[in-house]
Amino acid sequence: MQTRAAIYVRVSTLEQAENGWSIDGQISDIRNYCDSKDYKVVRIFKDAGFSGGDMKRPALQKMIEHGSNKAFEVVILWKYDRLSRNNIDFPALLHYLKTHDIVVESVNEPTPNDGSPYNEFVVGILGLVSSLERRVITMRTQMGIKKRLEAGYYKGSHPPYGYDYNQDTGHLDPHPIESKAVVVAFQKYLEYESLNQVRNFLEKMEYPTKKGGNWGITSIRSILRNRVYLGYYIYDGIIRMNEDIKLIDEETFEKVQHLMDERGKYSPMYKHNGKAALRAKEADFMDMGDEEVEAYLQQKADMPPCPRCDGQITVCKWGFRDSPTVGRLQQYYCRDCNYEFEQFPELPPREDVEPCPHCDSVYKVRKEGTAKNTAGERYQKYYCGGCERWFR
């Protein structure tokens, strides 16, 4: 029986620009490698535009999830640093995959996959080298940003909402429409005292977002908190003033900050979000009964300890949609060691999936027809994440 292989590829925006690395190029090299090894490719996981230090990459999380369900026996990488450039996360990922009997191989950094101490040592050194490269890149990037800011220029080329980046001058230029939306957002928040009503007003007046989608509460909150609209370039303690980009006066900005701070004290999230609930009780922001406090403390007591430091951990989010772990608490956070990690329990197979007829994948999600389909509700379409095919 052929060994089932999963391909994992990643490229950051900077790497693609400087080195010309591409997702398709990596996949092509890995497929040739799999052909030479007589591996059967059953999964392809792609993370485009993500840093190697980011553990929240969507495709990486899906690869870990599928691996825990025995979907493949080997993961093929173009280079080991595609998996992670963090000297803590890299060995942790290798260990996790190893506990599920999954081997990790690199096309451009071949090592003997015999489980020997020599192999683990070589792979570990390669991971440390990748971590060093990432830190050097980060340090150089930060130094470049600081030098630009000290010289009076904007810190980068990605402008905040309300502005365009002028490559000729190195400064921000107010966008003719977006800048008006910023001013309106500040004015309407003072009038409505509600982020939701500000969002509804911006939608009603058809002010565009940066990417053309719908307005979100988080985006509006970020705008109202951003001091760039006062005319400041700010980065890592460095502040430079540019009157030409100022959209909001100091008095209006401070009124908005004070109002947001006051309203935040009484929001449901503040009242019922973990330790904030106890802080709110102590500050008399809410009347929390003894039974509620006891229930909260019991919830904390039921959480497993952190596997890295035995500290108290809390839940971050739930399982992914359309995954075997949907609706199950998946991601955890430890405040003591400031670390986020995954725990994937062994779960029974889902009843709404079937084996793919083209490969050994176990995921086949049914999609009902829509009004755009000639068959309407009778239309059924399936997708296999292993061979990346849609079929009826």
All domains in the chain, ordered by first residue: 3-143 (3.40.50.1390), 156-264 (3.90.1750.20), 279-334 (no CATH), 349-392 (no CATH)
Highest mean pLDDT among 3-17, 21-35, 316-330, 370-384: 21-35
Token duo for residue 247: 């959209």
Find the DSSP H helices in the chain: 13-19, 23-37, 58-68, 89-99, 117-150, 178-192, 195-204, 217-225, 250-264, 268-272, 275-282, 290-302
In this prediction, residue 275 carries a pLDDT of 47
Interval 265-318: pLDDT, tens? 554 444 444 444 444 444 433 444 555 555 545 555 556 666 656 666 665 555
In this prediction, residue 208 carries a pLDDT of 92
Q: Is the pLDDT of residue 241 over 70?
A: yes
Residue with the larger pLDDT of the pair 289 and 68? 68
Highest mean pLDDT among 20-29, 124-133, 214-223: 214-223
Residue with the larger pLDDT of the pair 101 and 274? 101
Give yes or no for a contact between 182 and 248, defined as CB atoms under 8 angstroms apart.
yes
96-103 contacts at long range (C-beta below 8 A, 24 or more positions apart): 96/64, 97/64, 97/67, 100/67, 100/68, 100/70, 101/70, 101/73, 102/67, 102/72, 102/73, 102/74, 102/75, 103/73, 103/74, 103/75
Q: Is the pLDDT of residue 247 over 70?
A: yes
Set 12, 130, 131, 361: catalytic member: 12
Determine the average pLDDT of the residues in 184-212. Answer: 91
**106 assigned to active site:** no
Highest mean pLDDT among 30-34, 54-58, 242-246: 30-34
Report how far residue 372's alpha carbon sits from residue 133's, in angstroms, rounded to the nearest whole number.
49
In this prediction, residue 371 carries a pLDDT of 44
In this prediction, residue 305 carries a pLDDT of 64
pTM over 0.75? The answer is no
Interval 334-361: pLDDT, tens? 665 555 555 543 334 445 556 666 665 5
Report how far residue 27's alpha carbon sits from residue 11's, in angstroms, rounded to the nearest whole number.
12
In this prediction, residue 345 carries a pLDDT of 37
In this prediction, residue 56 carries a pLDDT of 82
Give yes or no for a contact between 179 and 161, defined as CB atoms under 8 angstroms apart.
no
Interval 131-182: pLDDT, tens? 666 666 667 767 777 777 777 778 766 889 999 988 888 888 999 999 999 9
Out of 93-97, 217-221, 244-248, 312-316, which region has the weakest mean confidence (pLDDT)? 312-316
Non-local CB neighbours of 65 within 8 Å, separated by 6+ positions: 320, 323, 324, 325, 344
| 178-192 vs 217-225: helix crossing angle, rounded to 10 | 90
Give yes or no for a contact between 387 and 70, defined as CB atoms under 8 angstroms apart.
no
